[in-house]
A and B are shown apart, each in its own frame.
Chain A
Amino acid sequence: MTTPAQPPNETADGTPLTGDELLVVDGLQKYFPITRGIIFQKQIAAVQAVDGVTFTVNEGETLGVVGESGCGKSTMARCVMKLLEPTGGRILFRGRDITNLSRSAMRPYRREMMMIFQDPYASLNPRKRVGFIVAEALELHKLGTQAEIKRRVQELLEVVGLNPEHYNRFPHEFSGGQRQRIGIARALAVNPKLIVCDEPVSALDVSVQAQVLNLLKDLQRDFNLTFIFIAHDLNVVRYISDRVLVMYLGQIVESGDRNNLYDSPQHPYTGALLSAVPVADPEVSRGRQRIVLEGDVPSPINPPKACRFHPRCPRFVEGRCDVEPPELVLRGAAAPDHLTRCHYPLERWPLTVDEMRRREEAPAAAASEG
């Protein structure tokens, strides 16, 4: 798959680029082929895990990515890290197209992009000492002498709130939260610009989760880090992010400034997600209605036509939503960077279940309200 040459100053869908973005993801696609055949494997279909995702990340900010399992958020992250080969689209890091770089050409960029994983148990080699795990990237990139590296490792352990004397211990001697701190220290070791966090607190208890989230915020402030923070927990994403993307079936359905998106969501899917999150306040939760979506997320092998959300959408309008694919654009009176992929965005928030169900006789009213 080749990418058609793009002018460097705009994305495939025409969004202008300033050139100052740390990361530009432009029309990213990742299809996993499904093959079948007796001897020769023919491709009969593809899992459209990520299908045309475009966004930018600026230096020093946190971009939150939310979505349910199977929405493609982790695949997207792995493509950005070049752990997976994208099927289409391009990735610009500091203005340089890294989409098709070879392994060796990619090496200098590897230092600047690190990843933190969900499972602190699985992502640390159980047979290596913590000092070795944290130092590995430093040694790979030959950053300093043995003594310097050891000093740096102890410094890093202290930064993430671990006892620097423990560099000789094995991962199993630490608790889940401490292991996630080791993962963070490892990611920080080479002074990266961008850290992609894939569900870093999902496996942790509430109190430990708070410790790790606070730590990430502190590190961002102290080291001017940029985060892509992937999570399915909307509470966590709200706390940590500056801007948020909502993904559904491989596409971005809504993106915008954190407060705009949480306080006045435009896409019905975002609305349903927000109304489904239990709120730790009995008065609030009793006073509102849960918008319960029917059924399960459809298969990404054969996603619904036009708007991918239409079979489950409470505001589905026949003849429009299942015919005409909506674009991710600015709708109504939303803030300028608040984009939505929906023909009939929500007029206001919160809405009751009845208000969510659009009456078909007034389709034109949607755009003018808000």
Chain B
Amino acid sequence: MPLLEVKDLKTYFATGDGVVKAVDGVSFSIEKGQTLGIVGESGSGKSVTCLTIMGLNPKRRTTSTGEALFNGEDLLKASPSRLREIRGNDIAMIFQDPMTSLNPVHTVGTQLVEAVTLHRNVSRGQAKKRALELLKQVGIPRAERRIDDYPHQFSGGMRQRVMIAMALINDPDLLIADEPTTALDVTTQAQILTLIEKLQSDYDSAVIMITHDLGVIAEIADDVVVMYAAEVVEKSPVDRIFKKPHHPYTWGLMGSLPRLDADLERLTQIPGQPPSLLRPPAGCRFNPRCAYVMDVCRTKAPPLEPVRGDATHLQACHLDEETKDREAARLLHMFASGAA
């Protein structure tokens, strides 16, 4: 049994303009100790998917359907009090902006202790000892003194370390990291990614890494889910998707990315804008921006199906296998020939 299995998850928000289908039929699963990368641009539904699993969407005007089975228990049907037991204990989450994710009026020690005492029946002294232990593990220098400092006294990278300490303090089975390095500088990003990888192997936790950066995915993910306009368009083990991407949107993402290892003459850009989730396009949601669009794409939504000869690699596109082979090869050839 997978640690977390998400089946046909849908999250709709009622707004004044109509219903925003923020997540529309997303399925994936993750095993213990694995890292799943969810990649997509803003508004693709990757963050909302995870907030739905955590039960953290605002309750009013939100409807979520489908299943999110965590160790076999459906989180969507769990009571609020049961969800509170799970949150921060079995599933922990870290967020994009470390500058605003910690409460400015409490010391980091207080906030770490809170995370322990909410789930463990221990004294404050014991909780503080645990907090200190975690701060040391995530590499906060002079942790004994810094534990009584306030968040604004830490740099961005150090605050993200505190967030990670807080997430891992109850030894969760699953860590959801929502763009944890996007707001950080590249050397700090390297520190944080290295730390997450190390802690993951120490604790054998599973990690869901939400990011818009294919580079981060390539560095730390085992499996990849590509989301576009609230849907999964491609899902695969990391090596296969980078070796042979199957969906035109994935090609677009890869081609849009300026690369350190290649001297590109011109980026392959995806024309236009992502669609409104109030009124997504009929058929394949990518069809108005797709260079390979066919008539069928405008009427029939392609199902998420395994590619030929590989049951672990799923994709949702009507294009024939030959075109895909050719285009994926052309893209990779461009990177290889641009490489210095």
Using a CB–CB cutoff of 8 Å, the interface residues on chain A facing chain B are 68-69, 175, 177-178, 205-211, 213-214, 217, 232-236, 238-240, 259, 262-263, 272-285, 290-293, 295-297
Contact present for A211 and B269 (CB under 8 Å)? yes
**Contact A276-B253, Cβ < 8 Å, known A177-B273, A214-B269:** no
CA distance A259 to B339 in the complex (A): 11
Report the nearest B residue to A211, measured CB to CB: B269
Cβ-based interface call for B110 (8 A) = no
CA distance A68 to B270 in the complex (A): 29
Q: Are A259 and B340 in contact (CB under 8 A)?
A: yes
A-B pair number, CB within 8 angstroms: 137
> Could you say which of A236, A273, A281, A295 contacts B261, with CB atoms under 8 Å apart?
A281
- 21 A/B residue pairs, CB under 8 Å, sorted by A: A68-B187, A206-B212, A207-B256, A209-B256, A210-B255, A210-B270, A211-B269, A214-B266, A233-B186, A234-B260, A238-B263, A239-B267, A263-B340, A279-B219, A280-B218, A281-B218, A281-B335, A282-B242, A283-B242, A292-B190, A295-B141
Taking a contact as CB atoms closer than 8 A, the residue among B189, B261, B264, B267 that contacts A276 in the complex is B189
B242 touches A281 (CB 8 A): yes
Closest to B183 in A: A69
* Bound CA span A217–B253, Å: 19
- Which chain B residues (224-245) contact chain A, with CB distance < 8 Å? 238-239, 242
Q: Are B212 and A278 in contact (CB under 8 A)?
A: no
Question: Given the complex of chains A and B, what is the CA–CA distance between A262 and B261 in angstroms?
Answer: 9
Residues of B within 8 A of A239 (CB): 258-259, 264, 267
Q: How far is the CA of A68 from the CA of B156 in the complex (A)?
A: 12
| B193 contacts the other chain (CB 8 A) | yes
Complex CA distance for A263 and B262, rounded to whole angstroms: 10
A206, B188: Cα distance in complex, Å: 21
| Chain B residues positioned under 8 Å from A293 (CB to CB) | 187, 190-191
For the complex of A and B, list the 4 residue pairs with the smallest distance between their C-beta atoms, beginning with the closest. Answer: A278-B215, A210-B256, A276-B190, A239-B258
Q: Contact mask B12-55 → A, CB, 8 Å, 1/0?
A: 00000000000000000000000000000110000000000000
- Closest residue of chain B to A264 (Cβ to Cβ) is B340
Partner of B258, one of A178, A238, A281: A238
Residues of B within 8 A of A69 (CB): 185
Chain B residue total in the interface (Cβ 8 A): 48
> Which residues of chain B (295-340) have a CB below 8 Å from chain A?
335, 340
Chain A positions within 8 Å of B238 at CB level: 282
B270 surroundings in chain A (CB, below 8 A): 207, 210-211
Bound CA span A284–B212, Å: 19
Task: Determine which of A213, A232, A278 lies in contact with B219 in the assembled complex, contact meaning CB atoms within 8 Å.
Answer: A278
Contacts of B213 in A (CB 8 A): 206, 278
Cross-chain contact A259 with B215 (CB below 8 angstroms): no
Which residues in window 143-165 of B have CB below 8 A to A?
155, 157-158
Complex CA gap A235/B216 in Å reads 13
Looking at the assembled complex, report how far the CB atom of B337 sits from the nearest CB atom of chain A, in whole angstroms: 14
Shortest beta-carbon distance, A254 to chain B, in Å?
A: 15
CB <8 Å contact, B340 and A262: yes
**Shortest distance in angstroms between B23's beta carbon and chain A's nearest beta carbon?**
18
Instruction: Identify the interface centre among B185, B217, B264: most chain A CB within 10 Å of its CB.
Output: B185
Please tell me if B100 contacts chain A, counting CB pairs below 8 Å.
no
Q: Are the CB atoms of B260 and A274 closer together than 8 Å?
A: yes
What is the chain A residue whose CB lies nearest that of B154?
A: A296
- Identify 11 new A-B residue pairs, CB closer than 8 A, beyond the known A205-B42, A239-B264: A206-B212, A210-B267, A214-B266, A214-B267, A217-B266, A233-B258, A273-B186, A278-B213, A282-B242, A290-B194, A296-B155
Please name all residues of chain B whose beta carbon is closer than 8 Å to the beta carbon of A232 when the two chains form the complex: 185-186
Closest to A70 in B: B185
A234 touches B186 (CB 8 A): yes
Hey, which chain A residues are within 8 Å of B340, CB to CB?
259, 262-263
Contact A279 B215 (CB under 8 A): yes
The reply to whether the CB of B257 lies closer than 8 angstroms to some CB of chain A is: yes
Instruction: Determine whether the beta carbon of B263 is less than 8 Å from that of A280.
Output: no
B176, chain A: closest CB distance, angstroms: 19
Instruction: Give bound CA distance, A228 to B108, whole Å.
Output: 41
Task: Give the one of A281, A285, A291 with max B CB within 10 A.
Answer: A281
Contact between chains at B187 and A235 (CB < 8 Å):
no
Q: How far is the CA of A262 from the CA of B338 in the complex (A)?
A: 13
Which residues on the B side are within 8 Å of A214 (C-beta)? Answer: 266-267, 269
Contacts of A262 in B (CB 8 A): 260, 340
Give chain B residues whose Cβ lies under 8 Å from the Cβ of A238: 258-260, 263
Bound state CA distance, A252 and B187, in angstroms?
A: 17
**Which residues 250-282 of B sit at the A interface, judged by CB distance below 8 A?**
252-261, 263-264, 266-271, 273-274
Residues of B within 8 A of A279 (CB): 215, 218-219, 259-261
Which parts of B175-216 form the interface with A (CB within 8 Å)?
Answer: 185-191, 193-194, 212-216
